[in-house]
Amino acid sequence: MTIVKAAQAALESAFSQHAIDVDPVLVRSTRPEFGDLQCNSIMAAAKRAGVNPRDLASSVADAINPALFADVSVAGPGFINLSLKDSTIASLATAQLLDPALLAERSGGERTVLDFGGPNVAKALHVGHLRSFVIGESLRRILIETGADVVSDIHLGDWGLQMGKLLVGVALEHGWKGDGDVLEAISAADVSTATVDDLGRFYKLGNAACDDEDVLSTARTLTALLQDGHPVLRAAWKSMRSTSVDDVVRTAAALGARFDLLLGESDAHEEIGPMLEDLIARSVVVESEGALVVPVAGDGLPEKAPPVILRKSDGAALYATTDLATLRQRVRDLKAQRIVYCTDDRQALQMAGVFSAARQAGYDDGADLVHVPFGTVRGRDGKPFKTRDGVAATLGDLLAAATEKASSSLADPTAAQVVAIGALKFADLGTPRRTGYVFDVDKMISFEGRTGPYLQYAYARIASMLDKAAASGTFPAAEVSISCREERDLLVECLWYPEALASAARSYEPSEIAERAWLIADAFSRFYAACPVLQSEDPPARLATCSLVAKVIEKCLWLLGIGVVRRM
pLDDT of residue 135 exceeding 90, the answer is yes
Q: What is the pLDDT of residues 185-232, one digit of tens each?
A: 999 999 999 999 899 999 999 999 999 999 999 999 999 999 999 999
**Phi, psi (rounded to 5 degrees) for 266:** -65, -30
Q: What is the pLDDT of residues 409-455, one digit of tens each?
A: 887 888 888 998 999 899 899 999 998 778 777 888 888 889 999 99
* b/e code 41-74 from CB counts within 10 Å (16+ = b): bbbebbeeeeeebbebbbbbbebbeeebbeebbb
Q: Are residues 403 and 512 in the same domain?
A: yes
HSE toward the beta carbon, residue 435, CA cutoff 13 A: 12
How close are the terminal C-alpha atoms of the chain, in Å? 35
Question: Could you tell me the CATH number of the domain that includes residue 443?
Answer: 1.10.730.10
Domain presence at residue 192: yes
- Quote the pLDDT of residue 543: 98
Q: Are residues 363 and 290 in the same domain?
A: yes
Domain presence at residue 17: yes
pLDDT cut 90: percent of the chain above it: 72
Q: Are residues 286 and 435 in the same domain?
A: no
417, 423, 426, 427 alpha-carbon torsion, rounded to 10°: -140
- Domain termination residue (choose one: 313, 346, 377): 377
Domain presence at residue 528: yes
- Quote the pLDDT of residue 385: 64
Domain presence at residue 261: no
Question: Could you tell me the CATH number of the domain that includes residue 12?
Answer: 3.30.1360.70
Q: Are residues 38 and 55 in the same domain?
A: yes
- Quote the pLDDT of residue 446: 86
pLDDT of residue 361 exceeding 80, the answer is yes
Q: Are residues 362 and 350 in the same domain?
A: yes
Q: Are residues 420 and 546 in the same domain?
A: yes
Q: Are residues 50 and 180 in the same domain?
A: no
Q: Are residues 420 and 337 in the same domain?
A: no
Domain presence at residue 386: no
pLDDT cut 70: percent of the chain above it: 98
Other beta carbons within 10 angstroms of residue 532's beta carbon come to 11
- Single pTM value for the model: 0.92
**By residue range, what is the domain housing residue 185?**
161-254
Q: Biggest alpha carbon distance in the chain?
A: 92
Q: Are residues 413 and 520 in the same domain?
A: yes
Domain presence at residue 262: no
Q: Are 333 and 325 in contact (CB under 8 A)?
A: no
Q: Are residues 449 and 466 in the same domain?
A: yes
Q: Are residues 446 and 479 in the same domain?
A: yes
Count of the separate structural domains present in the chain: 4
Question: Could you tell me the CATH number of the domain that includes residue 353?
Answer: 3.40.50.620
Q: How confident is the model at residue 384 (pLDDT cuts 50, 70, 90)?
A: low
Domain presence at residue 385: no
What SS3 string covers 279-311?
HHHCCCCEEECCEEEECCCCCCCCCCCCCEEEE
Domain presence at residue 170: yes
**Alpha-carbon span 94 to 104, nearest angstrom:** 14
Rounded mean pLDDT, 19-36: 88
Q: Are residues 334 and 434 in the same domain?
A: no
Length of the chain, in residues: 568
